[in-house]
A and B are shown apart, each in its own frame.
Chain A
Amino acid sequence: MNRSIAPAVNNEVQLTKLQVEKSTINGVEVNYVNGGSSPLLKLELVYNAGSKYQDQALVASLAFDLLRDGSKKLNGKAFKEAINGLGVYYGMDISKDFGTFSFYVLEKNLEALLVLIKDLIIAPNLPENEFDRLLQKEKNNFLVDLEKTDFLSRQKFAEVLFAGSEYGRVAHAESFDLIQYEMSVEFIQQHVIEAPFDLFVSGCISDQVKSTLNSFVQELPITKENPKKVAKDSTPQLGEHIIKKDSEQCSLMLGKKMVNKHHKDVHNISITNTLLGGYFGSRLMQNIREDKGWTYGIHSTVLTYENAANLVISSDVLKDKGPDTLNEIKLEIEKLQTELIKVDELEVMKNYLKGKLLKSFDGAFEQVDRFFSVDSFGLDWTYYDQYIEALENITPEDIRATATEYFKWDEFVIVRAGGEI
């Protein structure tokens, strides 16, 4: 045996995409992603009820928090005991675009869970004293968050990048005085009660499970339309924004607007971003962490929303290294725009991304997430075929061209919070 010769590596990737059974029942779009043999199912009810639908900060998140109190029939402690008693793990969360109920439930407890869900979405309890408690809790969490430089940079970043858009609306201290109970109740009435939703079910879905779920959906009173809202376009406040705070580290968050998933260059942008800061071997991670030791981690990500997309680079660095790190990020981007990537580096990254893609399709729960992230944009599985094709074909010249066109430094908004100013 000779240790100096590495075992051969095979980089062919065969993606097995599960068949998604899609139908519309009673105005509800039902999606079944069927695979595996575990008795655990994942259910997600996705509503057009994200934070972009609210008129002021906190309305949507508190509304969904309030739904945790259960229905008129079974509420408060009784509801929480009932749902936890079924061993269910659940979340009631909002993103910028969607309000989502998610449930992990053993198949044997599905029917009992559906009874609870049905009452919840037809006639939620929504008590005012619980709203007051949740508001107090949120306010306390907010006070804690205000002490964190990464939170401060994230808030400011959203505001300056999405200036003028619903996507840029974040909570401030005064938001907690302006919000009223009735606003969250109205939000639920408008966007959840008797409103249509998209249902995503994943796991081992037997015919029995399917028929149970189909009748559940069929019997719901769905009387509203609840159309999608288009968030306003934003005008980013370019340049650097500084938040002063005495802290052990300096939090950086910077980025710019990007094109959305329908754009022809979206895959090349994603690949170029990976090279910049999307994995451990990325230019930024190798430079700022592995070479200079200024941070525990630095990451670059492309985020896509229904009506916007953006690049975001973030890191917490040594408190006196904020400006130097920004300068290094700028230099790394310039390098991408001027120098061609070496074939070896490109090959490694391509192989990494192929393996990552394969893993991100491992199992029905993973696949439903992949499916949702295209389906919610009106796309389908072919999006991933196109991604693989882009991955196979992208050249050093393509990466340079993509960096030049989409990573322009003068289009960046930059936030620096804490550390030495």
Chain B
Amino acid sequence: MIEFKNYSLDNGLRVVIHQDESTPIVAVNLAFDVGARDENPEMTGLAHYFEHLMFSGSKNAPDYDVHVQNAGGQNNAFTSNDYTNYYVTLPKTNLELALWLESDRMFQLNLDEKSLEVQRQVVIEEFKQRYLNQPYGNNLAQLRALTYKEHSYKWSTIGKEISHIEKVTLEDAMAFYKQFYAPNNCILSICGDVDIEEVQKMVLKWFGDIERSTINRPTKIVEPKQTSERFEEVTEDVPLNAFLWSFKMGSKTDGNFAIADLTSDLLGRDESSFLHQRLAVELKLVSNISAYVSGDRDPGMLIVSGKLNEDVSFEAVEKEVWGIINQVKEKCVSDFELTKVKNKFETAHIYGEMSVMNKAMNLGYAELLGDVNGINTELSEYEAVQVEDIKEWAGQFLKEENVCRLHVKKESNE
């Protein structure tokens, strides 16, 4: 049970404070409600590119990183399809420094051509290092594009193509900043050995006078219902054939997420899972196989993927995957099997509550999803899942007209 104090400032900034007396470290997290899903389809990758630009310094703190380092802190950030998250940890005595820094860059960021150009190049190298220069690196992006026809989840956070990043201007970046980097679009969470009242005063002092923005998001596009199976095959310079499937499912907050998550765990979380046991160990069709859920704010995906052993056909593998899925749909899993995946979730959940950084991040994310107390009810939601729920959910979502299949075929040697 994590106790917290949550409230909002007049300018719309949502604040969550949690006291943890056991640590000398304080964590400050800012979750901005903007991600790749909010991007213009002609300028994808901007949310992530902009995350880099947020380290360009601000009016009173021209070098953000140096200030953090000088305070003995460490910081980083990430962008997802749903939001952009910044975090800093530092010795607890230096909390106010972090609040000053974060408020200053929310209020008056320095943006100039030099940092725009350097970070453009850094982001393009990131695109290459993580996606293009890796075997299979781009396949998830291809699966996205196959799965979503209308919704902005059809591109990944790095962007659809490098050319989109190449054309971002200083004006584009500034407009993005003005709109989305405002207190009414942010959740500030703070965890550490702090005095809650004192922190409230500091937060008001540094963030209280930053103005709201008017946010005009693109009209929300609902992905049309898929009515028949989709298939695509790509040929790449890879050593082994691979397959990736997505099943469309609900959102993180649709009430069934715990069921979906546990179903994916049963199918392919670890080496005791159904898919691994059957396809990797018993039949030796694949060298690895896994299943997981994307866990998105809008309806997301359950993804099954694996690499085929040599001389094994896609047909043979996919027939067995369907075999396992049909088994889960037709017959309830055993109580032992369900308890197993619940127990693993419990361990991971407790581990996640051991650092102030994780707690600050989780509190911010829970609030972003609509209910900060979600972090305290999550475990019991998983606990409440019954074997019948799994069977019913699988029957509803894991079906042929709901799947998108991607084959990654290795180039032949001729």
Given A81-B272, A295-B129, list of 13 further CB < 8 A pairs?
A: A9-B71, A38-B354, A68-B271, A77-B272, A80-B270, A84-B272, A84-B344, A104-B351, A144-B136, A144-B239, A292-B121, A352-B73, A358-B91
Q: Is the CB of A289 within 8 A of B309?
A: no
**Which single member of B104, B122, B354 contacts A293 (CB below 8 Å)?**
B122
Do residues A358 and B72 form an inter-chain contact, with CB atoms below 8 A? yes
CB distance from A357 to the nearest CB of B (A): 9
User: Can you list 16 residue pairs at the A/B interface with Cβ under 8 Å?
Assistant: A7-B94, A9-B94, A87-B342, A88-B347, A89-B351, A106-B347, A148-B135, A249-B125, A293-B122, A294-B121, A294-B125, A295-B125, A296-B126, A296-B129, A351-B71, A354-B72
Neighbouring A residues of B238 by C-beta, 8 Å: 144, 147
Closest to B96 in A: A7
A318 and B74 contact, CB distance less than 8 A: no
Please, how many residues of chain B have a CB less than 8 angstroms from a CB on the other chain? 79
A85-109 contacts to B, CB under 8 A, are: 85-89, 104-106, 109
Query: In the complex the two chains form, what is the Cα distance from A365 to B351 in whole Å?
Result: 10
* Assembly CA distance A144 to B136 (angstroms): 9
Are B118 and A14 interface neighbours, CB within 8 A? Answer: no
Of the candidates A11, A146, A316, which one forms a contact with B129 in the assembled complex, judged by CB atoms under 8 Å apart?
Answer: A316
One of A55-63, A133-141, A329-337 at the interface: A133-141
Closest chain A residue to B90 by CB distance?
A355
Question: Are B347 and A40 interface neighbours, CB within 8 A?
Answer: yes
Within 355-395 of A, Cβ neighbours of B (below 8 Å) are at 355-356, 358-359, 362-363, 365
Q: Is A27 an interface position by the 8 A CB rule?
A: no
B69 close to chain A: CB less than 8 A: yes
Chain B residues lying within 8 Å of A292, measured Cβ to Cβ, are: 118, 121
Which listed residue (A133, A281, A318) contacts B280, Cβ 8 A? A133
Q: Which residues of the other chain, A, contact B73 by a CB distance below 8 angstroms?
A: 352, 355
Task: Say if the beta carbon of B228 comes within 8 Å of chain A.
Answer: no
- Cα A280 to Cα B122 in complex, Å, equals 14
CA distance A105 to B327 in the complex (A): 31
**Contact present for A3 and B60 (CB under 8 Å):** yes
- B296 close to chain A: CB less than 8 A: no
Q: Distance (Å) between the CB of B124 and the closest chain A CB? A: 8
Flag whether A37 is at the interface (Cβ < 8 A).
Answer: yes
* Interfacial chain A residues near B93, Cβ < 8 Å: 9-10
Say yes or no: B94 contacts A87, CB within 8 Å.
no
Q: Mark B45-79, 1 if CB is under 8 A from A, else 0.
A: 00000000000000111000111011111100000
Q: B124-156: which have CB < 8 Å to A? A: 125-126, 128-130, 132-136
Would B343 and A362 count as touching, CB distance under 8 A? no
Minimal Cβ-Cβ distance residue in A for B276? A80
Once the chains bind, are B125 and A136 in contact (CB under 8 Å)? Answer: no
Contact partner of A248 among B72, B96, B133, CB < 8 A?
A: B133
Chain B residues contacting A289 (CB-CB under 8 Å) are 122
As a 0/1 sequence over residues 198 to 234 of chain B, the CB contacts with chain A under 8 angstroms (1 = contact) are 0000000110010000000000000000000000000
Q: A13 to chain B: which residues have CB within 8 Å?
A: 72, 91
- Flag B236-248 by CB within 8 Å of A: 1 or 0 each: 0111100000000
B350 and A140 form a contact (CB under 8 A): no
Cβ-defined partner of B133 (8 Å) among A6, A85, A316, A363: A316
A133 touches B281 (CB 8 A): yes
Q: Which A residues touch B277, using CB under 8 A?
A: 77, 80
Q: Which of B93, B117, B340 has the most CB of A within 10 A?
A: B340
Interface residues of B in 337-367 (CB under 8 A from A): 337, 339-340, 342-348, 350-351, 353-355
Is A4 interfacial (CB 8 A cutoff)?
Answer: yes
The answer to whether A351 and B69 touch across the interface, beta carbons within 8 angstroms, is yes
Task: Report the interface size for chain A: residues with CB under 8 A from the other chain.
Answer: 76
**A contact residues around B128 at 8 Å (CB):** 248-249, 316
Asked if B354 and A352 make an inter-chain contact with CB atoms under 8 angstroms apart, the answer reads no
Query: Is A359 in contact with B239, judged by CB distance below 8 angstroms?
Result: no
Q: Are B97 and A9 in touch, CB under 8 angstroms?
A: yes
A76 close to B (CB within 8 Å)? yes
Query: Of the candidates A4, A80, A247, which one forms a contact with B271 in the assembled complex, judged by CB atoms under 8 Å apart?
Result: A80
What is the 8 Å Cβ interface bit string for chain B, positions 282-314, against chain A (1 contact, 0 not)?
001001100000000000000000010110000
Q: Are A81 and B126 in contact (CB under 8 A)?
A: no
With beta carbons under 8 angstroms apart, the residue of B129, B240, B284, B354 that contacts A144 is B240
1/0 contact string of B85-98 vs chain A (CB within 8 Å): 00001110110110
The answer to the question of A167 belonging to the interface, with a C-beta cut-off of 8 Å to chain B, is no
- Most interface-central of A11, A16, A76, A85 (chain B CB within 10 A): A85
A349 within 8 A of B: yes
- The yes or no answer to A149 lying at the interface (CB within 8 A) is yes
Known: A85-B340, A290-B118. A76 touches B281 (CB 8 A): yes
Counting CB contacts under 8 A, is B23 at the interface?
A: yes
CB B397 to nearest CB in A, in angstroms, measures 24
Q: How far is the CB of B262 from chain A (nearest CB, A)?
A: 13
Contact partner of B120 (CB less than 8 A), chosen from A87, A293, A296, is A293
How distant is the Cα of A177 from the Cα of B91 in the complex, in angstroms? 53
Interface Cβ pair total, 8 Å cutoff: 211
Given the known A-B contacts A105-B347, A148-B135, A279-B69, are A316 and B281 also in contact in the complex, defined by CB atoms under 8 Å? no
Is chain B's binding surface mostly helix, strand, loop or mixed?
helix
Instruction: Tell yes or no: A405 within 8 A of B by CB.
Output: no
- A151 shortest CB reach to chain B, Å: 10
Say yes or no: is A39 at the interface (Cβ < 8 Å to chain B): yes
- The SS class assigned to the A binding surface is mixed
Which residues of chain A are within 8 angstroms of B22 by Cβ–Cβ distance? 36-37, 363
Q: Tell yes or no: B24 within 8 A of A by CB.
A: yes
Within 8 A of A (CB), among B106-120: 107, 117-120
Q: Is B257 an interface residue (CB 8 A)?
A: no
Cα distance, A414 to B72, chains bound together (Å) = 33
| Least Cβ–Cβ distance between B165 and chain A, in angstroms | 12
Hey, which chain B residues are within 8 Å of A1, CB to CB? 205-206, 209
Is A347 engaged at the interface, CB distance under 8 Å to the other chain? yes
Q: Is B317 an interface residue (CB 8 A)?
A: no
B159 to chain A, nearest CB (A): 14
With both chains docked as a complex, state the minimum distance between the C-beta of A358 and any C-beta of chain B, in angstroms: 6
Residues from chain A with Cβ under 8 Å of B23 in the complex: 362-363
Asked if A410 is at the interface of the complex by the 8 Å CB criterion, the answer is no
Which residues of the other chain, B, contact A81 by a CB distance below 8 angstroms? 272, 336-337, 340
User: Complex formed: what's the CA distance from A133 to B276 in Å?
Assistant: 12
A133 vs B345: C-alpha distance when bound (angstroms): 28
B249 within 8 A of A: no
State the Cβ distance, B13 to closest chain A Cβ, in Å: 16
Q: Is B176 an interface residue (CB 8 A)?
A: no
Give A394 to B272 CA distance when docked, in angstroms.
52
Q: How far is the CA of A105 from the CA of B22 in the complex (A)?
A: 21
Nearest chain-A residue to B345 (Cβ)? A87
Residues of A within 8 A of B206 (CB): 1
Asked if B100 is at the interface (CB within 8 A of a chain A CB), the reply is yes
Q: How far is the CA of A16 from the CA of B92 in the complex (A)?
A: 14
Give Cα A292–Cα B117 distance, bound, in whole angstroms.
9
User: Per-residue CB proximity of B10-45 to A under 8 Å, as 1/0?
Assistant: 000000000000111100000000000000000000
Q: Chain B residues with Cβ under 8 A from A316's Cβ? A: 125, 128-129, 133
The residue from B121, B270, B288 contacting A84, defined by CB atoms under 8 A apart? B270
Q: Is the CB of B104 within 8 A of A3?
A: yes
Give 1 or 0 for each of B264-280: 1 = CB within 8 Å of chain A CB. Answer: 00000011100001001
Are B74 and A348 within 8 A (Cβ)? Answer: no
A344 to chain B, nearest CB (A): 9
Highest count of chain A CB atoms <10 Å: which of B25, B72, B344, B346: B72
**CB < 8 Å neighbour of B309 from A16, A84, A140, A247:** A140
